[in-house]
Amino acid sequence: MPTKGAVPMSTQTEPKLVTQIDFARAGQITPQMKEVAEREHRDPEYIRERVADGRIAIPANIVHIKKGMRAFGVGEGLSTKVNVNLGISGDKADAAEEWKKVKIAEDFGADAIMDLSNSGKTRQFRQQLIDETPLMVGTVPMYDAIGYMEKPLVKLTKDDLFEVVRAHAEDGVDFMTIHCGINKSVTKTFKETGRLMNIVSRGGSLLFGWMEVTGNENPFYEFYDELLEICHEYDVTISLGDSCRPGCLYDSNDATETAEMIELGKLCKRAWAAGVQVMVEGPGHMALDEIAANMKLQKRLCHNAPFYVLGPLVTDIGVGYDHITAAIGGAISASSGADFLCYVTPAEHLCLPNAQDVLDGLMATKIAAHAADIAKKVPHARDMDDKMGQARRKLDWDAMWECALDPVTGKKRYEESPAATEGTCTMCGKMCAVRTVNKIFEGTTIDLGMED
């Protein structure tokens, strides 16, 4: 006999599976999980298990999936992903230039594009980007709020902010950076302990200003459950923004950064409980010897959620070359556990990057990510390096271009400086060590005198 008041089995409704984490917990492998598994040389069940417990995220808005996006996995045991930032600035609103940057991101191997447009009506650019790119698309709704709502910052309400989040979700954004962790408790720590560079996160500073002027709690923290409902409806991965990331070496691993990280760990669990995928964002600026410990601490406090970092930059004085300072830190952070690197360009701290800056920043970050993948023993990460070694041994330049992360630049530089001796380059010419040893093994006697 059924229990009194129980709903008959035939009329019970099963919970609706929407997000990748919903399907993973139900034991179902989605097409996106299969795609990630194939690309990463992993078993689909390996992917499903880690999506289910939050160690892997597959940022793939259901709207963007219908438009033909590729699925990318971010997290444990996977290749390190790379993001390119772009977007229309109030001081330099040139959509055509931004589309050049999109093309570079797609052609040179970025995994994600973050549209950080913050001027005027940005929705058309965002929608077109989602329509056209197969890469993951991320945004920071807080950047868009003032222009979208046509209100000054301090006049924005909680409902205004959530309306912008919903608009981004409806458009198909795959992951959103939302600064949920900067609550009154964290700001109290910040004001009590002080910092050299204060708050350098743009979104974090806007929310801090809003909180200070209105006296209210951060609405993304106070109404977090409502935010999660929007994210779940479209399978938007929430990228928990680090409002208090260090903006200089002096502030790294301080009380304010750590206080926020503790809050982000709590928010991870609440998101997973709501069936929402999560990434956590990290530093920033940090000395070389502090990076590995910071990565491990974040993984511990945030329960092994995928970690998305900006570098970190390992010195504060590399102005004009910060793609290099960030690549050094990125290689260390990714080899120590970070899963996703946001590129930094030579224009960092100086100006809006141009198309060449985007290429330089992307390639520096791709190199850092790849170096880390080799160190982490990601499956098949070193295959192309070994092929490059074979191509160089044979002095097979066409094969070298096929192995290069940026074949265009490499080939261009080589052809601009032709060598007199076939098969060599102008660095060594006829004294090329590879050529010399090849000829010896071929039984050819060579004379490197003036007449050779």
Q: Give whole-number Cα distances, 373 to 6, 189, 247, 362, 382, in Å.
A: 53, 36, 26, 16, 8
pLDDT band, residue 149 (cuts 50/70/90): confident
Average pLDDT over residues 357-374: 98
Residue 214: inside a domain, yes or no? yes
Give the pLDDT of residue 118: 82
Distance, CA of 364 to CA of 103 (rounded, Å): 17
- For residues 347 and 389, membership in a common domain is answered with no
90 pLDDT higher than 70: yes
Residue 18: inside a domain, yes or no? no
Tally the domains of the chain. Answer: 2
- For residues 319 and 209, membership in a common domain is answered with yes
Give the pLDDT of residue 120: 66
Each residue of 437-449: pLDDT tens digit?
999 999 887 767 6
- For residues 273 and 407, membership in a common domain is answered with no
pLDDT band, residue 256 (cuts 50/70/90): very high
Give the pLDDT of residue 452: 47
Q: What is the mean pLDDT of the chain?
A: 94
Residue 270: inside a domain, yes or no? yes
pLDDT band, residue 10 (cuts 50/70/90): very low
Distance, CA of 176 to CA of 228 (rounded, Å): 12
- For residues 306 and 437, membership in a common domain is answered with no
Residue 32: inside a domain, yes or no? no
- For residues 415 and 337, membership in a common domain is answered with no
What proportion of the chain, given as a percentage, has pLDDT over 70?
A: 95
| Pairing of the two strands 56-57 and 74-75 | antiparallel
- For residues 333 and 289, membership in a common domain is answered with yes
- For residues 367 and 433, membership in a common domain is answered with no
Give the pLDDT of residue 164: 96
4 pLDDT higher than 80: no
Average pLDDT over residues 384-404: 97
Give the pLDDT of residue 14: 65
Domain containing 138 equals 50-375
> Which contacts of 211-218 are long-range, i.e. CB under 8 A and separated by 24 or more positions?
211/182, 211/184, 211/187, 212/187, 213/153, 213/154, 214/154, 217/183, 217/184, 218/179, 218/180, 218/182, 218/183, 218/184
Residue with tokens 């890469």: 135
pLDDT band, residue 12 (cuts 50/70/90): low
**Last residue in a domain, options 356, 375, 394:** 375
**Last residue in a domain, options 332, 352, 375:** 375
Residue 262: inside a domain, yes or no? yes
Average pLDDT over residues 182-206: 97
- For residues 361 and 408, membership in a common domain is answered with no
Task: Check residues 10 and 270 and name the one with the higher pLDDT.
Answer: 270
3 pLDDT higher than 80: no
- For residue 337, the domain's CATH number is 3.20.20.540
Candidates 83, 82, 36; CA nearest to 55 is: 36
Give the pLDDT of residue 93: 74
Residue 245: inside a domain, yes or no? yes
Give the pLDDT of residue 153: 93
Label residues 38-63 b or e (16+ Cβ within 10 Å = b).
eebebeeebbbebbbebbbbbbbbbb
pLDDT band, residue 2 (cuts 50/70/90): very low
223 pLDDT higher than 90: yes
**Last residue in a domain, options 375, 408, 423:** 375
Residue 76: inside a domain, yes or no? yes
DSSP H or E stretch at residue 340: strand 340-342
- For residues 331 and 207, membership in a common domain is answered with yes
Candidates 237, 250, 130; CA nearest to 178 is: 237
115 pLDDT higher than 90: yes
Residue 280: inside a domain, yes or no? yes
